[in-house]
Amino acid sequence: MIHDLRTIRNIGISAHIDSGKTTLTERILFYTGRIHAIHEVKGKDEVGATMDSMELERERGITIQSAATHTIWDGHHINIIDTPGHVDFTIEVERALRVLDGAVLVLCGVAGVQSQSMTVDRQMRRYKVPRMAFINKLDRSGANPARVTEQLREKLNHNAVLMQLPIGLEANFKGVIDLIAMKAIYFEGENGEHVVSNEIPEEMRDEAEVARESMLDAVSMFSDELMEAILEETVTEELIHEAVRKGTLSMDLTPVFLGSAYKNKGVQKLLDAVKLYLPSPLDGENTGVDLSNNEAPLTLASDPNKPTVALAFKLEDGRYGQLTYVRVYQGELKKGGTIINSRTKKKHKVGRLVRMHADSMEDIESSASGDIVALFGIDCASGDTFTDESVQISMTSMHVPDPVISIAIKPVDKKTVDNMGKALGRFVREDPTFRTRVDPESNETVISGMGELHLDVYVERMKREYGCEVETGAPQVAYRETISQRADFNYTHKKQTGGSGQFGRVAGHIEPMEDGGEDFEFVSEIKGGAIPTEYIPAVEKGFLQCMAKGRLIGFPVIGVRVVVDDGKSHSVDSSEMAFQAAGRGAFREAYPRAKPIVLEPVMKLEVEGPVEHQGAILKTIMQRRGTVIGTTESSGMSRIESEVPLSEMFGYATDLRSMTQGTAEFTMEFARYLPAPAEVQKELKEEFSSKIVDDDE
């Protein structure tokens, strides 16, 4: 167990696809001794980088799933959460960010700040994750770290400060000048493992002095002591480190480091910086909610002697069985100890506790607050909180967006149905934004998620990891129906088919709910036992059965209040079943008279791109029946907020890319249901009617 929490760094490495973060992670693991050979991403040696544990990721050269790995650098324990880089996997990124204390933002030295860097950076800001930047690929043609640093300032609004200068660039990239120690640092040996410190080359001395001065100017803003020392010319390295750390922790400063992970340059100095400047678990504040006190928020203490609180942030069903990655926020986890799942109240024994390397593991006896470890064979969902039995605490609930798109899937080979079931079960547990259900009518399995690519990846994972190839149907939008005016009902269900009959009469009205929310409300105003109390729930059930599938386009009905104020029963023929049928009949009677309408899901769409493309971006929104809410312009970038019907959003990523030469990026999430335009309603009604006719035939 790690006793000194000050030596823990829980960090993420986040970046745009192809910025080289997987290679960087690989090199970190190599230099810290966790792996003994270096493989390339998209490797010519066909092995692939170690952090990319999934075959799909290996093939695409991108990281989709976050995996945690532990390593040690200069007496400091570094847990690296490898965060995915694509916008469709936002929940993965956000879950990972939740458990991080700090992050390294990797930027390509040539491409600079790309759209995904902006998304990731925005997410980090939201979760208040202090970060430093690593400008990678300085060996590449066109690399320009000064320009990238400027972009960090302009596009991401970072107070980015170069802590190093490159010695040579592109093919001549040899090493870096450390502006704190004022030394030239070279990375020698076959894999750059020998860090050699030399005098700054004569021809770079002036440039280095100027750069150091400007670095000190920026950094001294965070330390009066350093400012005084500068005036008195008594600056020490420690004073600078302290000031940089202070600025970094308050997120007012982003120190920038340089290198080329692929060419084995700069990585060890970055690790030093992680140790020096990024926060330990003691530097941040973590809050949970007290389930025993009406969910009152409470601050958790990184104290091993307090009751245990741990968050399961990632599940993996790998070759060793189900692994649950947890971050311990308070107390400690012990092998052989008992923990309780705050959501299910189920008790679990901690059979095995492990530290994870990307593809191997190390058994440990216990783990203290602040640490990230994995549990074995514990049945839970991603986002669950574990505590010891003395407290009922849950980590603050994380925002989980509703799925916005569904597709039907069918295995190509019927023999693989079982595998499909296993795969879906696992995906649902791993990813709260991924849902699955069986359509009772078509008997098809329907999967839902956050975007087209999100679902594509699961379809592909089913094929690769579970050998189950599936055919996919057309994307389906989750429409709803609602009523627009009050309508009365007075329905009698009466059946006499020999033996005891069925009888039930219900009367009242249905009306739209004021907020048009998703809630259904059932109000009984029955007086004098017109409907016996025991049958009233059956009436409600009858209505609910009809609400599940509207009669306009076959989608669920929402926003309806049912008021039952009269009825009649029969001493022999009335039953629960009869009153359920009466409820259904009453709904069928009143619904068409209540002027039902179709509601469509409208998404909140945020597009960010350079100002010069805002006209093109606005056009993509207008063409999709979108309503622009507003535009925020800053530092040459515009962020356009709008609302667009989901049904118009298919293929948006491709369109936006082509309209803006790939410079814009977007995020979207469900906003609300709004009435669909008349022509859309007409089309949907016709489609539904034709289906009914087809079914009848």
Partner 1 sequence: MYRKFLNARSPLRLLEKGLHGGLGPGNLGIVVAGHGVGKASFLVGVALDELLRSGRVLHVSMAHPVSHIRDHYDTVFAELAATAHLEGEARLHVDIDRNRSIRVYPKNEFTPAKLREAVKVESETAGQPSMLLIEGLDFETISREDLADFKALAGELAAEVWMSVSYSKEQIAKLPASVERVADLVSVALALEPGDDAVLLRALKDHDNPNLTELHVALDPRTLLLTRH
Instruction: Kindly list the residues in this chain that would bind partner 1 in the complex (CB under 8 A).
Output: 611, 614-615, 618-619, 622, 627-635, 641, 643, 674-675
Sign of the dihedral defined by the CA atoms of residues 56, 58, 63, 66, in that order? positive
d(CA 260, CA 249): 26
Q: Which residues of 71-92 are buried (b: 16+ CB within 10 A; e: fewer)?
A: bebeebbbbbbbbbbbbbbbbb
Given the complex with partner 1, which of 88 and 643 has the nearer CB atom?
643
Given the complex with partner 1, which of 291 and 674 has the nearer CB atom?
674
Given the complex with partner 1, which of 70 and 613 has the nearer CB atom?
613
Helices (H) and strands (E) in the chain, counts: 16, 37
Query: Minimum CB separation from partner 1 for residue 516, in Å?
Result: 9
d(CA 119, CA 470): 32
**Residues 6 or more apart in contact with residue 399 via CB below 8 angstroms:** 94
CB 101 within 8 A of CB 5: no
CB 372 within 8 A of CB 324: no
d(CA 339, CA 311): 12
Query: Minimum CB separation from partner 1 for residue 614, in Å?
Result: 6
CB 510 within 8 A of CB 487: yes
CB 59 within 8 A of CB 16: no
Given the complex with partner 1, which of 440 and 615 has the nearer CB atom?
615
CB 526 within 8 A of CB 538: no
Given the complex with partner 1, which of 446 and 618 has the nearer CB atom?
618
- CA dihedral defined by 212, 216, 217, 218, rounded to 10 degrees? 110
Closest CA to 163 of 112, 128, 206, 208: 208
Given the complex with partner 1, which of 316 and 606 has the nearer CB atom?
606
Given the complex with partner 1, which of 301 and 671 has the nearer CB atom?
671
Given the complex with partner 1, which of 72 and 629 has the nearer CB atom?
629
- Exposure of 46 in the CB half-sphere (CA atoms within 13 A): 0
Given the complex with partner 1, which of 548 and 629 has the nearer CB atom?
629
Label residue 661 left, alpha or beta by phi (over 0 means left) and psi (-120 to 50 means alpha): left
Query: Minimum CB separation from partner 1 for residue 613, in Å?
Result: 10
Angle at 477 between CA 473 and CA 482, to 5 degrees: 140
d(CA 183, CA 197): 6
Query: Minimum CB separation from partner 1 for residue 688, in Å?
Result: 24
DSSP state of 553: S
Beta bridge partners of 266: none
Given the complex with partner 1, which of 223 and 614 has the nearer CB atom?
614
Query: Minimum CB separation from partner 1 for residue 600, in Å?
Result: 13
d(CA 86, CA 19): 12
Distance of alpha carbon 352 from the chain centroid: 28
Given the complex with partner 1, which of 305 and 634 has the nearer CB atom?
634
Query: Minimum CB separation from partner 1 for residue 678, in Å?
Result: 12
**Residues 6 or more apart in contact with residue 120 via CB below 8 angstroms:** 14, 15, 16, 83, 85, 93, 105
Given the complex with partner 1, which of 184 and 656 has the nearer CB atom?
656
Given the complex with partner 1, which of 139 and 643 has the nearer CB atom?
643
Distance (Å) of CA 377 to CA 97, 325, 438, 474, 636? 24, 11, 28, 37, 50
Query: Minimum CB separation from partner 1 for residue 628, in Å?
Result: 6
